Amino acid sequence: MAYVSGSILEGGQIVFCDPATGRSQRTPYGVQLPVLAWSPDSRSLAFSGGNWKALLAALEKADGPEFCAPLAIVDVETQALRDVVKEGAPFHDPLWSPDGSKLLFSLWKSMEGPPELWVIGADGTGAKKLLPAVGSALACSPKGGLVAYTGVDDAPGLWVLTVADGKRRQLLKTDVSTLCWPAKGAGLFYATSDEGNAHAWLLRARDEKHLQLTTAGEVCDLYPSPDGKQVAVVVTVVEGAGVDVRDRNELYVLTLKGEAVAE
């Protein structure tokens, strides 16, 4: 298990923890964004950051908002670090291909517009821009040939991109906040984000039918199991108008049995 202790502004560092023993080991690496991506074989971790002390020095020199860290990969066993993209830029949400050979990431070249979608080999070669604009959620199909993503501006909703030829098509016009595509299971899980209509859904792979999994509450996040047979759903329960101390998040686990959902 890995987590970020604090933030880069506070000297946050990556910490490895053994769940079996509870022992933690603080690494010499810090992050710009608290987003860590495990490789499929659990041997490597991708993140935006680098050597902790060097990051703090660069942050101080760049006066905060102008600071940008490289996209890096650390070997969990040896803690050896290598930069995948050495030029600093605001990277966000690195995502491994299912076979661990590539990394997808969204890249802001200008903070005034939406980020671009890029793919690069895990060894730092073969960088390629896939899309000129992409939203904040990405998911790879189990075989890596498709990328689901959220659209932006005049092309919102849920989209899918064929990596080989760059062709894309819109699957849903409704705004989507979360995407998860487990290695096994029936298809792509997503959550709609429209106010009053934030529910969990399954886009079934075999016929692209959209199956609604929740009907009550406002779904703010979801986490399918690796086999795709269960999904944990975080639901926001709003008790009153505006901010109410009784508002809360509740966790539910849904079990998929064919097309039926048992709560």
Q: Are 15 and 26 in contact (CB under 8 A)?
A: yes
**146 shares a domain with 118:** no
**105 shares a domain with 174:** no
**122 shares a domain with 147:** no
Structurally, the chain folds into a number of domains equal to 2
**62 shares a domain with 93:** yes
Closest CA to 220 of 185, 186, 195: 195
Q: Give the Cα separation of 59 and 14 in Å (integer).
A: 17
Per-residue pLDDT of the chain (263 residues; tens, 9 = 90+): 888 787 655 557 888 888 889 888 888 887 777 778 999 999 999 988 777 777 777 666 765 445 567 788 999 888 898 888 876 666 667 899 989 999 998 877 766 677 888 899 999 899 888 988 787 788 999 888 899 998 887 778 899 999 888 899 999 988 888 899 988 878 999 998 776 678 899 998 888 899 988 887 788 888 888 888 889 999 887 766 665 666 788 898 988 876 544 33
Any idea what DSSP says for residue 216?
S
Domain's final residue, options 111, 133, 155 = 133
Quote the domain boundaries for residue 188.
136-262
Q: Give the Cα separation of 185 and 226 in Å (integer).
A: 8
**221 shares a domain with 109:** no
For 35, how many CA atoms within 13 A lie in the half-sphere containing its CB?
Answer: 18
Domain's final residue, options 100, 133, 166 = 133
Across-strand partners of 189?
180, 202
Domain's final residue, options 107, 133, 159 = 133
Distances 90 to 18, 31, 37, 65 between C-alpha atoms, Å: 30, 12, 16, 10
**114 shares a domain with 170:** no
Closest CA to 120 of 154, 91, 142, 149: 91
**151 shares a domain with 115:** no
Q: Give the Cα separation of 263 and 49 in Å (integer).
A: 40
**181 shares a domain with 86:** no
Closest CA to 107 of 80, 77, 128, 82: 128
- Entry pTM: 0.80
Q: What is the pLDDT of residues 74-128, one digit of tens each?
A: 998 888 988 888 766 666 678 999 899 999 988 777 666 778 888 999 998 998 8
Sign of CA dihedral 116, 117, 121, 122: positive
**145 shares a domain with 121:** no
Q: Give the Cα separation of 64 and 49 in Å (integer).
A: 14
**155 shares a domain with 126:** no
CATH of the domain at 22: 2.120.10.30
**220 shares a domain with 118:** no
pLDDT at 261: 44
**27 shares a domain with 3:** yes
